[in-house]
Structure 1
Amino acid sequence: MPQSRPSIYDRYIPALSAEPSDLPAYRFVFLAGTANLLLNEGSGLEAIPSAADAAELGFEPSRSLYLGTLGGAPCYAAEAPEGAVPPDGTAFLPLRSLYEVLDEDLFHLAGRALQMLNWDATHRFCGRCGTTLTLADRDRAKVCPNCGLSQYPRLSPAVITAILKDGKILLAHAAHFQNDMYGLIAGFAEPGETLEDCVRRETMEEVGIELGEIRYFGSQQWPFPNSLMIGFVAEYAGGEIAVDGEEIAHAAWFGPDELPNIPPKVSIARKIIDWYAEEYGSPTDTPKTVDPDTFI
């Protein structure tokens, strides 16, 4: 199994309130109602706009949250109002398309910014009494000043699994996938089940087969809008493929030299499939992929 990637916390220190700094702040600015991130021309850290004040970017943000520091510089998540015009030399670009423009730490930090903005926009009022929520002092949370209910940023855990049989991998085409793309079996965890239970249930529901050993692969935050993807590799144990006809339109076993169109590198699905192709294939096997702008 692959080694874990370096932690984002090697460079990034989360915090709730900003300390005085002489460094311009990095601004992870998203256009309201979208996952489109404001970027400078260029790549890597230089692509993230920096300014002492968000108004220097040409518009007043409709919401802004402090994220902490990156290399000592303060970082903010900000939302540009609907219809905001990007300054000269910048553009709003879909976050999913930026995986190879930003390094992985920056991509994940941008994802954190997007999730925080979504949480701030969708948790404005108390679900118990309807009172306007306020930011907590000591936690990344919102608190009701009337009844005391706390609301934390929402995470929706989902499993995604490579199923292996005799050196082949099971790939499935969901009805909503574009470009005839095939991916892995995935689904959200339900209350009362373990992640392994979820892997077995989703597999049985979607393709009707039983699993043997299940091994952890890795995880990925997926901020569209608030998922945490937990990857596994599982061994086939029995049964014939029988797709549900609702979520899954077709599924089949594929060898490493016969892979169909697969998800782009931005996804943990692709990381798992690439691992499989490397472990079971020859050096000349080159997986086909879809454009990340059309990946759903």
Structure 2
Amino acid sequence: MRDTPVFESAVIKPDSPPGESLCFGFQGGKMLVCQDAGIQVPRLSQLGPMDLPADAFHYLGRQAHTHCFAVALALETALPAGFELHELRTVAMALDAGLFTLAGMARQVLLWDQNHRFCGRCGNATVDHPRDRAKVCPACGHSQYPRISPCIIVLITRGDEILLARSARFPSGLYSTLAGFVEPGETLEHAVHREIREEVGVTVRNLSYRGSQPWPFPHSLMMGFRAEYAGGDIVLEDDEIVEAGWWHVRALPPIPPAGSISHQLITDYVAEKTK
């Protein structure tokens, strides 16, 4: 993805965070937003009436001069007037790219905190590392860091055409680029070739790296590529893909929304071919 304002990640929170600090709160997997001239990320001062415990707050770092927190809301926490809960995918359509990235970071940190309260090696309760974002077992010393799953996502080009596919889990009519997880021992390039072969059966050449994007569903890091078609017919060899085909850059089907790396891969190529 294109550069966004510099974010300084940190673990140790300031002694007295200002009331204007941004709070990315989640309850039951949904994000807390305030409806004030559209969907807005709540400020720390707005959460006072909720009387949240100190351990509900996880410091993320600072965006420019604004401190940012992930906030875990218990299911029984009542929401003050003017606050609502929304699916993060829905919120993505209303936030700029920088805020969506921070919201995704918050969601990942909270899931990690929830899922690693006990040691995966010996079962004892874990404690927070004093400096790093890690859970440490005081019994056996095992450390557990937030999980990140590397994925490749690739746009295949053929002159004025691009290859798009539709997954069974997509909304009706939506097409996207191909993507998949990186297997142990693979390079990113190997993963690109394997995923393309497994999903649509064609071969590609001239891979070029185009950028990356954290994707918090639940903890992926998408690494974007462009590749030129080299040969072969489209054969759907993966049960996940229900349809795939070549689309002219001037006659595309519905594609993923702006803010996603898939959208950027597609629109960047379209812009190059139609300028």
Q: Deviations over 1:38-63 (max 9, x none)?
A: 3342358xx22223585x14253683
- RMSD between aligned residues: 2.0
Please state whether the residue corresponding to 2:24 is helix, strand or coil. strand
User: Which residue type is aligned with residue 30 of structure 1?
Assistant: F
Structure 2 match to 1:14: 9
User: Which residue type is aligned with residue 59 of structure 2?
Assistant: Y
Q: Deviations over 1:123-169 (max 9, x none)?
A: 11111101111111121111111111111110001011000113210
Structure 2 match to 1:242: 235
User: Which residue type is aligned with residue 8 of structure 2?
Assistant: I
Compute the TM-score of the two structures, normalised by the length of structure 1. Answer: 0.85
The answer to whether structure 1 residue 5 and structure 2 residue 16 are counterparts is no
The answer to whether structure 1 residue 231 and structure 2 residue 224 are counterparts is yes
Distance 1:16 1:245 in 2: 41
Of 90, 114, 121, 1:97 maps to 90
Compute the TM-score of the two structures, normalised by the length of structure 2. Answer: 0.92
Of 134, 150, 159, 1:157 maps to 150
Q: How many residues get paired?
A: 273
Comparing 151-160 and 80-89, the one that deviates more: 80-89
Of 37, 41, 58, 2:36 maps to 41
Distance 2:249 2:66 in 1: 44
Structure 2 match to 1:64: 57
User: Which residue type is aligned with residue 35 of structure 1?
Assistant: K
Structure 2 match to 1:294: none
Please state whether the residue corresponding to 2:171 is helix, strand or coil. coil
Please state whether the residue corresponding to 1:217 is helix, strand or coil. strand
Please state whether the residue corresponding to 1:125 is helix, strand or coil. coil
Of 59, 75, 79, 2:72 maps to 79
Of 184, 196, 200, 1:191 maps to 184
Structure 2: where are the runs of 5+ without partners?
A: none
Structure 1 match to 2:26: 30
Structure 2 match to 1:175: 168
Please state whether the residue corresponding to 1:261 is helix, strand or coil. coil
Cα 1:59–1:22 shift into 2, 3 Å: closer
Contact 1:172 / 1:251 at 8 angstroms: preserved in 2? yes
User: Which residue type is aligned with residue 240 of structure 1?
Assistant: D
Contact 1:222 / 1:229 at 8 angstroms: preserved in 2? yes
Structure 2 match to 1:206: 199
The answer to whether structure 1 residue 216 and structure 2 residue 219 are counterparts is no
User: Which residue type is aligned with residue 38 of structure 1?
Assistant: V
Contact 1:30 / 1:38 at 8 angstroms: preserved in 2? no
Distance 1:140 1:147 in 2: 18
User: Which residue type is aligned with residue 27 of structure 1?
Assistant: C
The answer to whether structure 1 residue 124 and structure 2 residue 117 are counterparts is yes
Please state whether the residue corresponding to 1:276 is helix, strand or coil. helix
User: Which residue type is aligned with residue 140 of structure 2?
Assistant: C
Give 1:175 shift.
1.6
Distance 2:194 2:269 in 1: 23
User: Which residue type is aligned with residue 31 of structure 1?
Assistant: Q
Structure 1: where are the runs of 5+ without partners?
A: 283-296
Distance 1:207 1:22 in 2: 51
User: Which residue type is aligned with residue 36 of structure 1?
Assistant: M
User: Which residue type is aligned with residue 127 of structure 1?
Assistant: G
